[in-house]
């Protein structure tokens, strides 16, 4: 996993150039109730949820009933959130607030992901090996999903990226593994990963 992490840092540095808003930065007690604090200085009362649920950002909850996904430590507010599933598979959450009246679509977000992967690999977007590109549904949300592979620092890495664009949010739920193709295991892990999210 160490070699994946090193290669992924190169990709992540380019990928997260814009700051994300409404990332949870902490919890506090107010009048005996727990509140969740966000980096945009807003807050919400914490709702009672299962012990395996985590508020990732305002209106975004991750509930992993298996306990397999581990949030990586030392993540600064505003950074993409990285997770580890196993030595072979990792995850990434990119959550960005969009302005009123934006014209973003899932197709634009998928194209941006390919462009960022190309930049991290030092190639052009047309040279990125796109393995799959389709529309999907994530609970009540229309979404897009693109799978692609690039070589970063001599390591082939394959990404499965599910993207959602709402009235005020651009969300990328991504898993990655070494190799030039999406394996059956990677597909199963990614499908489970995205099913653990609730997007308000």
86-131, pLDDT tens digit by residue?
Answer: 999 999 999 998 999 999 999 999 999 999 999 999 999 999 999 9
- Is the pLDDT at 156 greater than 60, yes or no? yes
C-alpha dihedral sign at 67, 69, 167, 47: positive
Alpha carbons 129 and 151: distance in angstroms, whole number: 10
pTM equals 0.77
């Amino acid at each position: 996993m160490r070699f994946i992490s090193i290669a992924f840092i190169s990709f992540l540095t380019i990928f997260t150039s814009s700051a994300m808003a409404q990332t949870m930065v902490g919890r506090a007690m107010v009048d005996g109730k727990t509140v969740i604090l966000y980096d945009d200085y807003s807050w919400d009362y914490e709702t009672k949820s299962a012990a395996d649920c985590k508020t990732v950002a305002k209106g975004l909850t991750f509930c992993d009933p298996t306990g397999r996904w581990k949030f990586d430590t030392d993540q600064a507010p505003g950074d993409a959130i990285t997770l580890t599933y196993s030595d072979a598979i990792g995850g990434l959450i990119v959550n960005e607030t969009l302005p009123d009246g934006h014209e973003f679509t899932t197709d634009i977000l998928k194209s941006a992901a390919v462009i960022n992967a190309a930049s991290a690999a030092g190639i052009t977007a047309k040279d990125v090996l796109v393995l799959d590109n389709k529309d999907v549904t994530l609970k009540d949300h229309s979404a897009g999903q693109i799978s692609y592979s690039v070589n970063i620092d001599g390591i082939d890495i394959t990404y499965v990226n599910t993207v959602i664009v709402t009235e005020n949010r651009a969300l990328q739920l991504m898993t990655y593994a070494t190799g030039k193709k999406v394996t059956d295991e990677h597909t199963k892990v990614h499908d489970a990963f995205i099913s653990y999210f609730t997007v308000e």
